[in-house]
Amino acid sequence: AQLAVFLRERQDAEARRHRQSARAATFLKKRSASCTEVLCSDSAMLPTRQARIEAMPGVRPLVVRRLSPVPDASSEPPADSGGATGSRAFTDTRQSPSPAAPPRRASSLQLKCKERGIPVDILGTLGAADVLGECDRLNMLGVDELRAECQALNLRAERCFDAAELVGRLLQVRIWKVTPLSTLQAECRDNAAHIAESMRPRDGIALSREELVEALCVARWGGQTRSQRIAERCRAFGLPVERLDSLDIAADLLSELDQLDTMNGVELRACCRAKGLACETELQRKELAHKMQEALIWDHLPLSDLRDRCKQRGLPMKGDHRRADLVKLLVAETWNARGIPVQKLPSMAVAHGILDQVERWEAKSVEDLMADCLRRNIAHEAAPAKEDLIKRLRDRAVWEHLTLDDLRKECSERGAKWQQMFAEDKADRVHAARAERYQRRELLSALERSVEDAVWAAKGVDARRFEEREVAETIFLAFEH
């Protein structure tokens, strides 16, 4: 690069000198012509002046010689008059013919390129200078550094331990990078046509310079192209690479998946939360990474493949569902696995708040959970299981955020009975809000009774057989103690 800059500056300096020489020659030619005119006019006036001088008293006559005009450089030289007159003539501007210029020697750049096998006639001066500078840099590196550069360029150099061979490969890649595109395409057609055909994109766009160089490298030294490496890695993750929009999308997805390998469990859990996924507390780093991989793949799958995945999981799809709707269904499945119907909640913030409460309950002891159930009027056994207590507390937290319609559906599914309440004046907002508040309270009480009935029924006490619930409760407590 420094040599190229030096050559460019030298060419600019030579051009400036040529322009200055041309201007100086033009100036001298104009000045010579003007001097010739002045001398010719003065010589015409010499006899008159001589007569006047001789007419003056006391003045000795002078011998004045006529000066010959300066001949034009383009005109034929005048005949030699001989004698002293010719020697005293005014300045002679005629130029003798210059001798033939000697043949120009080859420049040092061309000699160096010829010694190292660099095709300067194909690359040009700047391209050859670039390759020559790269050659000098590579010759200063060791074998390990050269092998590292080959690996960075995806050149196969595992079994190559000769520095000259490594330098030759890297130098050839550099030559291909500065070769004119038309010449590079012709060489690729001759030597790497089968590789280039497998790399041709679906949209019919011609291969870029980088892709042509890659095809030539694989054809000469073996290995895999970028598209082959990406396709192999995508198949390992179960990605249909042939159905993705482009290889760049697949490469970006693989880059995101590679970043997951550098994260710990806490960072992966935070990423899952940012993606809207609900993960179990006991999940290890490997399972969290797998969930995160699935979420990243959902964003890049074709719509038909995304529908197939939803169908395999039995999710309720509709014909007008788009990608965002299908991704929401897949995300909601992770919440349903935790017992939180995220689609029935007002927002994801509410869902995450309930999930945080569930995780805090999972960290508590059974005695603390029983105390929480008592504060929330939730029935439990004398020696309940921790999972049952967490489930009842979670359901109670979800019910508090459901709409009235969802609460009615929940009561109907559990067989709970409630009293329907209506506002006295529907036009009055105060009466309507009060009736809705009373109705919510009634529905929550009915759901609490259904939980209590389920706890009693597990011990063989059917509350429906008794007219009063206090009798059933007394019998249940007697069985418990």
Percent of the chain with pLDDT over 70: 80
With beta carbons less than 8 A apart as the criterion, state whether 141 and 166 touch.
no
- Inter-residue contact 254 to 230 (CB < 8 Å): yes
Q: Which of 47-56, 318-327, 400-409 has the highest mean pLDDT?
A: 400-409
Q: What is the DSSP letter of 448?
A: H
Q: What pLDDT, on a 0 to 100 scale, did the predictor assign at position 232?
A: 84
Instruction: Quote the pLDDT of residue 481.
Output: 63
Q: List, for residues 76-107, the tens digit of each pLDDT value.
A: 444 444 444 443 333 444 444 545 444 444 47
pLDDT at 204: 61
Question: Which pLDDT score, from 0 to 100, does residue 85 have?
Answer: 41
The pLDDT of residue 398: 92
> How far is 72 from 29, CA to CA, in rounded Å?
9
pLDDT of the residue at 394: 92
pTM over 0.75: no
Give which of 159, 173, 154 is closest to 216, Cα–Cα. Answer: 173
- H or E element at residue 249: helix 247-260
Q: Is 72 left (phi over 0), alpha (psi -120 to 50) or beta?
A: beta
As a whole number of angstroms, the distance between CA 296 and CA 22 comes to 70
Spatial CB neighbours of 412, under 8 Å, sequence gap ≥ 6: none
| pLDDT at 45 exceeding the cut of 70 | no
CA distances (Å), origin 475, targets 221, 389, 466: 86, 22, 11
Q: Is residue 422's pLDDT more than 70?
A: no
pLDDT value at residue 103: 45
Place of tokens 């290890």: 284
Of 119-133, 161-175, 191-205, 297-311, the least confident: 191-205
Cβ burial of 476 (10 Å; 0-12, 13-18, 19+) is buried
Task: Quote the percentage of the chain above a pLDDT of 90.
Answer: 4
For residue 142, what are its two tokens?
């060791």
The SS3 assignment for 313 reads coil
pLDDT at 236: 81
| Furthest C-alpha separation in the chain | 170
